[in-house]
Amino acid sequence: MKKERVLITGAAGFLGSHLSDRFLKEGYHVIGMDNLLTGNINNIAHLFPREDFEFYHHDVSKFVHVPGELKYVLHFASPASPIDYLKMPIQTMKVGSLGTLNLLGLTKAKKARMLIASTSEVYGDPHVHPQPEEYWGNVNPIGPRGVYDEAKRFQEAITMAYHRFHNLETRIVRIFNTYGPRMRLDDGRALPSFMSQALRGQDITVYGDGSQTRSFCYVDDLVDGIYRLLLSDYSLPVNIGNPSEISIKDFAEEVVALTGTKSKVIYEPLPTDDPQQRKPDITKAQNILGWEPKVSRSEGLKITLDYFMQLPEFK
CA dist., res. 8 & res. 5, Å (int):
10
Distance of CA 31 to the CA centre of its chain: 19
| Piece of the chain touching ligand UDP by CB under 6 A; list 126-134, 204-212, 233-241, 255-263 | 204-212
| Piece of the chain touching ligand UDP by CB under 6 A; list 4-12, 99-107, 202-210, 301-309 | 202-210
| Piece of the chain touching ligand UDP by CB under 6 A; list 28-36, 149-157, 185-193, 256-264 | 185-193
Answer for which of 110, 152, 171, 189 binds ligand UDP (CB under 6 A) is 189
Catalytic residue chosen out of the listed positions 148, 162, 179, 227:
148
CA dist., res. 124 & res. 144, Å (int):
12
Cα separation values, 198 from 80, 186, 230, 312, Å: 23, 13, 38, 16
CA dist., res. 137 & res. 150, Å (int):
11
State in angstroms the smallest separation of the CB of 90 from ligand UDP: 19
Judged by beta carbon, residue 23 or residue 123, the one nearer ligand UDP is: 123
Q: Is 118 in the site for ligand UDP (CB under 6 A)?
A: no
What is the chain's length?
315
Judged by beta carbon, residue 132 or residue 210, the one nearer ligand UDP is: 210
Answer for which of 118, 193, 239, 259 binds ligand UDP (CB under 6 A) is 193
Judged by beta carbon, residue 205 or residue 232, the one nearer ligand UDP is: 205
| Piece of the chain touching ligand UDP by CB under 6 A; list 97-105, 107-115, 206-214, 291-299 | 206-214
State in angstroms the smallest separation of the CB of 107 from ligand UDP: 28
Answer for which of 82, 225, 280, 293 binds ligand UDP (CB under 6 A) is 82
The SS3 call for residue 219 is helix
CA dist., res. 120 & res. 152, Å (int):
10
| Piece of the chain touching ligand UDP by CB under 6 A; list 59-67, 128-136, 167-175, 188-196 | 188-196
Judged by beta carbon, residue 75 or residue 184, the one nearer ligand UDP is: 184
Q: Is 205 in the site for ligand UDP (CB under 6 A)?
A: yes
CA dist., res. 305 & res. 8, Å (int):
27
Backbone angles phi, psi at 113, to 5 degrees: -120, 135
Q: List binders of ligand UDP among 227-266 (CB under 6 A).
A: 248
Answer for which of 43, 177, 242, 304 binds ligand UDP (CB under 6 A) is 177
State in angstroms the smallest separation of the CB of 14 from ligand UDP: 12
- How many residues touch ligand UDP under the rule CB under 6 A: the total is 14
Answer for which of 15, 206, 222, 255 binds ligand UDP (CB under 6 A) is 206
Burial track 168-205 (b if 16+ CB lie within 10 A, e otherwise)? bbbbbbbbbbbbbbbbbeebebbbbbbbbbbbeeeebe
Q: Is 174 in the site for ligand UDP (CB under 6 A)?
A: no
Backbone angles phi, psi at 214, to 5 degrees: -140, 170
Using alpha carbons, select from 117, 151, 121, 132 the residue that is nearest to residue 230. Answer: 117
The SS3 call for residue 227 is helix
Cα separation values, 212 from 10, 17, 158, 278, Å: 29, 30, 32, 8
148 is catalytic: yes
User: Which residues contact ligand UDP by CB under 6 A?
Assistant: 81-82, 177, 189-190, 193, 205-207, 212, 214, 248, 271, 274
Catalytic positions, written as ranges:
148
